[in-house]
Structure 1
Amino acid sequence: MKAGKGILFFIPKTIKGQMIIMISVLVFLQIGVTAVLFNGIVGNFLEESHKKRTLDFAKTVARMPMVISALRSGETNEQLQNILLDMQKEIGAQFIVVARRDGIRLAHPVKERIGQKFVGGDFSAAVQNGESYTSRAVGTLGLSLRGFSPVKDIDGSILGFASVGYLETSVMKVIHNAQKEPATYLFIMLFVGLITASMIAGYVKKLTLGLEPYEIASLHREREVILNSVRAGIIAVNEEGLIRFTNNEAKRILGLADEMTGANIENFLPEVMLTQRMQNRDEVKDEELFINGHLTLFNIKTVIINDKVYGAVATFRRKGEMDYLNNELQQVRQCSELLRVQSHEYSNKLHAISGLLQLEEYDEAKSVILKESEGYHKLVEFTDTNVNCPMIAGIILGKYNRAGEIKCAFEVDFTGKWVTSPTKPEQVVTVLGNLLDNAIDAAKSNTLVAPKVSMRLFEEEDHLFMQVEDTGKGLPTDIDIFQKGVSTKSDSRGIGLYNLSMALKALDGHIEAGVSDRLGGACFIVKLPITRQI
């Protein structure tokens, strides 16, 4: 284990250092293998070249008339010795020897060895078989590479042999000299490889924004944990619309368990038109779309770097989940508003009752008390028995008190009732709350008549109905009041009825808008299907 740690200690942590080492090792191995192969090829080539030269020179010497004449006579002469020495220097050989069949030298670069027997014992094939060949043997000058050729007379009889030789040290020196120059180029290639490795490593680090591999891996793990812990769906696509990342929440909302990476986003979310919006560089904030039967809020951000589109990121969350928190907050606000209004109203009533008691108008005081409590208690009793949902009952009581605060009559048809509880009460609260708010505002805005709002809840066959009427000025005919941003109010909010229409889609409901025959203002009738539990 310690040895392993010691080896790892020398591996740098930076990507530049690692790439330089890896590329350098690769280049070094390639150059090493090339050098070994090259040296072997060059060595073999030069050795074969020397063998051929020695053999060719030996044959040339064996055909010289002066050599044939000397062997025929069996005697040497000074002229032959000088000619062979000049030839030896010319071809760079270490020796040229002429000898008789019995190996007695007639010519040798060292005069003292003329007349002595040829050393090495490798000349027999030339004088016995008439062969021309090369061999390695140790002679009087040392180990040498030498060529042999028989010297023949005119009639073809073998008179002796000629031998030309190169010392082994001389041959190896030639080979080593031939290998030095390529070795220089190989070291230059290694140096260039190191520089190239450094440049490549610098370029790669630039592509990774200066981050090291371990930092990238750490960031990737952190990103996975962070994005999968977010309670919103996240999908990232590249410039071609191919999915690069999806978190667990996105798969849950879309109802997909399979890996989506690499697939086209349009195969999963055609309603979002993400590719088109990315190409147009559009940004989307809180757009409401129906995905898998649920109202979903979408935000889209196009990734643009140096004026080039690299992709887009879409974040989304089911509106119902967000509405749940909003409704919880809304109920708290309604309770607070209810208590505030009741405190204010009952403070005024108590002052009036106190005055009547001081004036000893006991019957009048009793009448005021009964009148005040009768309407509210009747409404509470109605919501408790006829509306089988506390959330909806709470919104009705809250709007009743709001209407009373601004002196708007709030009429409830106590004959109808909802026996069946809605399957999505938070969406029903959105619908009913917006209808009552708009009705109260519309009734109060019409100063020609006393403001009044009427509400009726009833159930027929397999549907729940809610009907809201007011004494306002009616509905405009030149605009679509259910479009986002469209409003008849002075502050131009235009959100309430749009939210209402989105909630109705989630409920698979239907709304009809018209004129109230009884109150003269607007009349809305909402029809919701009943989902029976089997």
Structure 2
Amino acid sequence: MRNWSLARQFFIGQLVFVLALTTTISWVLYLDAEDNTFDSASARMLAVATTFANDPFVLEAVQSPNPSDLLQPYAAEVMDELGVDFVTIMDTDRTRYTHRNPSEIGGQYIGSVEQALGGVPHVELFTGTLGPSVRAIVPVTTPDNAVTALVSAGVTVDTVSIARNAQLPLVWLIAAGALTAGTIVSLVLSRHLRRATLGLGTEQLSRMFVFYDSVLHSVRDGLALTNLRGDLVLYNDQAAALLNLPPSVPGEPKPASDVGLSPSIRELLASGRRAVDEIHVTDDRVLVVNQEPAVPASGTKPLGTVTTIRDHTELEALSDEVQTMRTLTEALRAQTHEHANRLHTIVSLIELDRRTEALEFATRDLQQSQQLTDEVVAAIDEPFITALLVGKAAQANERGLHLDIDVAGTLETHGMDPRDLVTIIGNLLDNAFDAAASSEERSVSLSIHTAGDDAGFVDIEVGDSGPGLSEAQLGTIFTLGSSSKGTAGTRGLGLALVRQAVHRLGGTIAVTSDGGALFTVRLPAGPRAPEGADPAGPRAHGEATRG
């Protein structure tokens, strides 16, 4: 029984309840029929006995010398006509004048007579010569109210039972109707319950709820369940964190329009359509969203949708770190190749016995290669940024670009995530390299300033000698999928990550275009900027980044 489905348990329980209720109702109806039959028989016998007692013929006969000769024929005729089992007329000393069995005439009446002798009619269930019977005893009185005889009329219990049993078919009909109706209703409800619970039992549902709830709150990805109206029925803690939602309360659906979701995610949830690795942008995150309709195993219409959400910002941060390592690897490879060439040159000078020129060449090369590293290391106390800039300098040199790095002051990373700084500087330099590669000047500038009147901020400027940005690009460059490199919809994620990294650090970003693009990022050097600061900078300046 423990393995039965909830629908079967409900049906059996409901059926047992209907059976118990029907049995109870039938028993009550049976008892009521029995009581009504005995009450009806008692009232009828009282009426018959009273009629005999009030009959003047009976009063005259009981006062005659031989009452039985007059009363027995009369009583026998009435008993046969009315279907009464006995009518016994007796003297006050119980001597019978009449009886159903003539041989009992003259014998003593068996039953209670005290109340009747006192002038009060009486009804009782008593066992006499004919067996148990329902009988009424009424006094026969003279005009001056003197009791001169008694009349007893009755029917046997068997006769009463026959009358009672005549009502039983109605009782059984009512019971059968109630049982049939209850069974049909229980069957319909159980089938509906089976569809609603997918045929699972109580223990299975309990385990499933516990397991699913544990899975819901333990997975690292955001998970949200919506109904057909697009309301959020349930979501886990990660989804609440990624979408900035209040804690989920089971059984209280939240309309997507009331919880501050971004327009694109709100549209996706409301549509109920299938989505595979779609990119959606919130105020501070880039999210990868997948959505599938929740269709029962029976294949009926969907109950809603299941949406999974991953934070692509963190993935991109890891990608940026990998890209930084790749940049350093390429820089080391280029330096190794260049170092081999220079080493051959030095060896050749030594073989030509031109030791002084070899020493000057080696010293000058060492000073030039070390100068940038020393400047960067001295100005920037963050090893991630130092490694990134050294690698980018080597990458620019390999691509034939002139990279001018200007660092004023010390970059204080307290309160900043170095990965965010790598994301900002690395993506802006990559975009600037691509833009400058198509120009004649082929130059890129990076400026990091922490001094001056705004010493509480870090200003990062990245400029290039490229063609710049058009007015149309300035208006759309920050849209996810937009890119100054062409192929809209397939690029542009890098700048979204830059903007969001700036937002997380409480800073601003702006872009101007005049003979090339110049991106300006301002970050608070210490604690996060106060609430209300525009995280993306003034759009009047055409805030954007390359994708």
Provide the identity percentage.
Answer: 26
- Compute the displacement of 1:443 (Å): 1.6
- Compute the displacement of 1:54 (Å): 0.3
Contact between 1:243 and 1:260, CA under 8 Å: does it hold in 2? no
Question: What corresponds to 1:468 in structure 2?
Answer: 462
Counterpart-to-counterpart distance in 2, 1:320 and 1:489: 21
- Compute the displacement of 1:241 (Å): 6.3
Question: What amino acid does structure 1 have at the position aligned with 2:482?
Answer: V
Answer yes or no: is 1:89 the counterpart of 2:80. yes
The 5 A counterparts of 1:129-528 are 129-153=118-142, 157-179=146-168, 181-183=170-172, 185-187=174-176, 189-190=178-179, 192-239=181-228, 243-250=232-239, 260-261=249-250, 262=252, 264=254, 269-273=259-263, 277-281=268-272, 285-290=278-283, 294-295=284-285, 297=287, 299=289, 301=291, 303=293, 310-311=303-304, 313=306, 315-316=308-309, 321-351=314-344, 353=346, 366=359, 368-413=361-406, 416-421=408-413, 423-446=416-439, 449-460=440-451, 461-480=455-474, 481-492=477-488, 493-514=491-512, 520-528=515-523
Q: TM-score, normalised on structure 1?
A: 0.83
- Compute the displacement of 1:164 (Å): 0.9
Residue aligned with 1:270, SS: coil
- Compute the displacement of 1:499 (Å): 2.5
Question: What corresponds to 2:545 in structure 1?
Answer: none
Counterpart pick for 2:43 among 48, 52, 56: 52
Are residues 391 and 70 of structure 1, via their aligned partners in 2, closer, same or farther at CA, if it must alter by over 3 Å? same
- Compute the displacement of 1:58 (Å): 0.9
The 5 A counterparts of 1:55-70 are 55-70=46-61
Are residues 136 and 485 of structure 1, via their aligned partners in 2, closer, same or farther at CA, if it must alter by over 3 Å? closer
- Compute the displacement of 1:465 (Å): 1.9
- Compute the displacement of 1:374 (Å): 3.2
Contact between 1:278 and 1:311, CA under 8 Å: does it hold in 2? no
Over residues 414-444 of structure 1, what are the superposed CA-to-partner deviations in whole Å (9 max), with x where a residue is unaligned?
x634342361221221121122112211121
Residue aligned with 1:106, SS: coil
Count of paired positions = 513
Q: TM-score, normalised on structure 2?
A: 0.81
Residue aligned with 1:223, SS: helix
Are residues 275 and 494 of structure 1, via their aligned partners in 2, closer, same or farther at CA, if it must alter by over 3 Å? closer
Contact between 1:302 and 1:309, CA under 8 Å: does it hold in 2? no
Are residues 12 and 66 of structure 1, via their aligned partners in 2, closer, same or farther at CA, if it must alter by over 3 Å? farther
Question: What corresponds to 1:3 in structure 2?
Answer: none
Question: What amino acid does structure 2 have at the position aligned with 1:384?
Answer: V
Question: What corresponds to 1:5 in structure 2?
Answer: none
Counterpart-to-counterpart distance in 2, 1:280 and 1:524: 38
The 5 A counterparts of 1:61-80 are 61-76=52-67, 80=71
Counterpart-to-counterpart distance in 1, 2:34 and 2:86: 22
Counterpart-to-counterpart distance in 2, 1:337 and 1:89: 128
- Compute the displacement of 1:483 (Å): 2.8
Counterpart-to-counterpart distance in 2, 1:366 and 1:427: 43
Counterpart-to-counterpart distance in 1, 2:328 and 2:457: 30
Counterpart-to-counterpart distance in 1, 2:176 and 2:513: 96
Residue aligned with 1:73, SS: coil
- Compute the displacement of 1:180 (Å): 5.5
Are residues 213 and 53 of structure 1, via their aligned partners in 2, closer, same or farther at CA, if it must alter by over 3 Å? same
More off after superposition, 367-376 vs 208-217? 367-376
- Compute the displacement of 1:198 (Å): 3.9
Counterpart-to-counterpart distance in 1, 2:471 and 2:353: 56
Are residues 455 and 486 of structure 1, via their aligned partners in 2, closer, same or farther at CA, if it must alter by over 3 Å? same
More off after superposition, 315-324 vs 138-147? 315-324
Residue aligned with 2:413, SS: coil
Are residues 410 and 357 of structure 1, via their aligned partners in 2, closer, same or farther at CA, if it must alter by over 3 Å? farther
Contact between 1:455 and 1:468, CA under 8 Å: does it hold in 2? yes
- Compute the displacement of 1:389 (Å): 0.8
Are residues 87 and 347 of structure 1, via their aligned partners in 2, closer, same or farther at CA, if it must alter by over 3 Å? farther
Counterpart-to-counterpart distance in 2, 1:234 and 1:451: 47
Counterpart-to-counterpart distance in 2, 1:11 and 1:502: 54
Counterpart-to-counterpart distance in 2, 1:124 and 1:74: 25
- Compute the displacement of 1:280 (Å): 4.0
Question: What amino acid does structure 2 have at the position aligned with 1:94?
Answer: D
Are residues 51 and 338 of structure 1, via their aligned partners in 2, closer, same or farther at CA, if it must alter by over 3 Å? same
Over residues 242-280 of structure 1, what are the superposed CA-to-partner deviations in whole Å (9 max), with x where a residue is unaligned?
653343434566788966442736698414356555334
More off after superposition, 27-36 vs 296-305? 296-305
Question: What amino acid does structure 1 have at the position aligned with 2:483?
Answer: S
Contact between 1:420 and 1:530, CA under 8 Å: does it hold in 2? yes
Question: What corresponds to 1:6 in structure 2?
Answer: none
Contact between 1:63 and 1:151, CA under 8 Å: does it hold in 2? yes
Are residues 40 and 322 of structure 1, via their aligned partners in 2, closer, same or farther at CA, if it must alter by over 3 Å? same
Counterpart-to-counterpart distance in 1, 2:497 and 2:261: 19
